[in-house]
């Protein structure tokens, strides 16, 4: 039986990160639990996630928008477990404001949280992967990085589109020199977590209060990421139906956007 993987998860205090820690900590019925290094800013919630995950799990509180905290996370994971197999950049925050009302602070925060935190993680762990000749880097993005279906999330979507580009270019750069290193992008859609409650400037109501059609819960997204770790690929949409929407959008951008505008006008 192969040794259990050592997996680092950022943004692990709640939502997708916490659900993923529990899935990986439980392990498959016939396999070993993963060994986990978890990080987030909210220490009490992070330690509760680590407790719930069980097994060989360590909690390392930190702010992933600070490079020194990211490097400390890497160093503590390697010191404790000897190496890292998988690094998951899962930190993210939303925003609710029109494109034309964005402030410098709005944009700067989206870039710091959704782009720089992942970039720091990539730069911290990839040299370790290169030394080992293998590893798996996973960046958690969003379906909204591809299709403009929620315009009040424009700055968030733009930051995640930047993350997409960084991820793709990192994958191409490593493919020629270190083919044993996998680089994956994960694109959830709407997920029923506290993400919407913590978004900068709040989040408009869903109307009836019920989640929109097609919304997933954190466990469903976590299960998709667990499957990705078992069989790495370049990109996944955690809701498979959204891949078809993206193909349709890029196949006829103007027509798709006219349809969206007509639907919005009819509400």
Q: Catalytic residues, which ones?
A: 156
* Of 195, 39, 42, 200, nearest in space to 109 by CA: 200
Pair 79, 57: CB distance under 8 Å: no
Tell me what percent of the chain is helix, strand and coil, each rounded to the nearest 5: 55, 15, 35
**Dist. CA 145–CA 141, nearest whole Å:** 7
* Of 245, 236, 241, 242, nearest in space to 88 by CA: 236
* Of 21, 71, 11, nearest in space to 223 by CA: 21
Q: Which two tokens stand for residue 125?
A: 């762990």
**Dist. CA 156–CA 97, nearest whole Å:** 10
Please give the distance of CA 145 from its chain centroid, rounded to a whole number: 12
**Dist. CA 35–CA 153, nearest whole Å:** 35
For the CA atoms of 20, 15, 140, 235, the dihedral, rounded to the nearest 10 degrees, stands at 60
List alpha helices for the chain, DSSP H.
Answer: 15-26, 43-53, 67-81, 104-111, 117-132, 154-177, 195-198, 218-230, 241-251, 253-265
């Amino acid at each position: 039986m192969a040794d259990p993987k050592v997996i680092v998860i950022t943004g692990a205090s709640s939502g997708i990160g916490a659900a993923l820690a529990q899935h990986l900590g439980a392990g498959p019925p016939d396999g070993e639990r993963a060994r986990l290094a978890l990080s987030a800013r909210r220490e009490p919630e992070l330690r509760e996630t680590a407790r719930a995950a069980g097994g060989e799990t360590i909690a390392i509180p930190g702010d992933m928008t600070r490079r020194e905290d990211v490097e400390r996370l890497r160093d503590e994971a390697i010191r404790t477990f000897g190496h890292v197999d998988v690094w998951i950049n899962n930190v993210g925050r939303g925003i609710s404001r029109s494109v034309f009302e964005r402030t410098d602070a709005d944009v700067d925060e989206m870039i710091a949280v959704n782009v720089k935190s992942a970039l720091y993680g990539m730069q911290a762990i990839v040299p370790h992967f290169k030394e080992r000749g293998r590893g798996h880097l996973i960046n958690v993005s969003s379906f909204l990085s591809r299709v403009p279906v929620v315009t009040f999330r424009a700055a968030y979507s733009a930051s995640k589109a930047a993350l997409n580009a960084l991820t793709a270019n990192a994958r191409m750069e490593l493919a020629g020199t270190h083919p044993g290193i996998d680089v994956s992008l994960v694109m959830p859609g709407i997920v029923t977590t506290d993400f919407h409650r913590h978004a900068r400037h709040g989040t408009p109501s869903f109307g009836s209060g019920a989640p929109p059609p097609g919304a997933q819960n954190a466990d469903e997204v976590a299960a998709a990421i667990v499957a990705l770790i078992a069989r790495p690929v370049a990109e996944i949409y955690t809701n498979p139906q959204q891949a078809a929407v993206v193909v349709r959008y890029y196949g006829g951008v103007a027509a798709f956007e006219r349809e969206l505008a007509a639907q919005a006008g009819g509400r």
